Amino acid sequence: MCAVLALPLPEPFATITLPGADDMSSKSPPANEVRRSGPPRRPFLVALALAMMLAALEYTPSRALETPSLSAVIAARAPMPGMAAALPIRLPVDSAVLEREVVARYDYRPLSRVLGKHNRNPQIVRRVARAIVREAERLKVAPSLLAGVLLTENPRLETATVSSQGAIGLMQVMHFHAGEFDCVSDDLRNVEANICHGARVFGRYLKRTGNVKRALLRYNGCVVSANTPNCHRYPGKVIRAAQRVRRDLLAYPAGVRTQ
């Protein structure tokens, strides 16, 4: 509480008796006239200022008041004065971002489980999944896209298959591409070498065209539609296969650690 200072009355307010006061009474103003005094002196003003300063210090908070920020109010969903409570905002979810998070956390395992539905050899499945994840990271594309190409070209994951056009292995790479890239081997029947060649052929076309659909058309040799019957449908098939792979990747349970 504020201390009360007992201050002496300043001299202008004290009654002063002077000699010859009786003689001066005749010269005094009338009784009903207000008697004016001089301004307060410095000691009185200093004492008053000190008293006001003590009162201000007494009632000043010891610490700053904490005012919540607008973002904190919104996060707590506290309604603003004069406003109705707002409904929660639902933002669209980017499935490509979710796929990257799944692969970053579990590496090749989710894709291995997806590909295990197409081939019962777990060793081959794991090698294929590892190679696809590695090449997708190098190309900065989704693993589901490369897996879509592979499953469209070779749904049974047969490493030694050769098409009537001479395309070899998992991603049906043409023989003349062997040795063009810095892959582990030139043998297109090798799992890692075939996926390395196939992914880099696709990456070359993607860099040239800047468009996934046109890159897939070139990968399929569909520069002239007469080369392969209905080859213009190839990009749609790959994209649908990639969408199924992504859906299964996102369904990968957190508890699964083996495959």
The pLDDT of residue 73 = 45
The pLDDT of residue 13 = 43
Sorted by where each starts, the structural domains of the chain and their CATH numbers stand as: 95-250 (1.10.530.10)
The pLDDT of residue 166 = 92
- Residue 99 CB neighbour total at 10 angstroms: 22
The pLDDT of residue 230 = 82
The pLDDT of residue 14 = 46
Question: In whole angstroms, what is the distance from residue 179 CA to residue 182 CA?
Answer: 7
Which portions of the chain are predicted below pLDDT 70?
A: 1-40, 57-92, 224-228, 254-259
Distances (CA, A) of 20 to 12, 14, 15, 30, 71: 20, 18, 15, 18, 81
Q: Which two tokens stand for residue 195?
A: 């996926």
Question: In whole angstroms, what is the distance from residue 138 CA to residue 200 CA?
Answer: 9
Quote the pTM value: 0.64
Question: In whole angstroms, what is the distance from residue 173 CA to residue 124 CA?
Answer: 18
Distances (CA, A) of 21 to 13, 24, 31, 36, 121: 18, 5, 16, 19, 130
